[in-house]
Structure 1
């Protein structure tokens, strides 16, 4: 039990040292991540559609 309490105290102490991003930075990072994920989702959807159509043409 003593180990868990010590671990939690150390965790709280370390979390206070963390440099958290400001609201403006966090917004910018969030937009960047969302744009990147959207781009790759569309990119892979188009690639998947293209490969599916290619396979359908070959198998017909």
Structure 2
């Protein structure tokens, strides 16, 4: 029990040390990344919507 508590403390201290090494994006970079993600989501949504309509039309034509 004692050993697992020490390893848990060690895990969190090592994790905190790794987080200090991370280069976090500034506000401008974060805004750009967010816009890229949202744009990609919109494009992919439109793509799958068009594919869904096409598949539905094909199935309706068969039936």
If the TM-score is normalised by the length of the shorter chain, which range does it land in?
over 0.9
Name the counterpart of 1:29.
33
Q: CA RMSD in A?
A: 0.6
How many corresponding residue pairs?
59
Structure 2: runs of 5 or more not aligned: none
Name the counterpart of 2:46.
42
The runs of at least 4 consecutive aligned structure 1 residues that moved more than 2 Å come to none
Structure 2 length-normalised TM: 0.89
SS at match of 1:54: helix
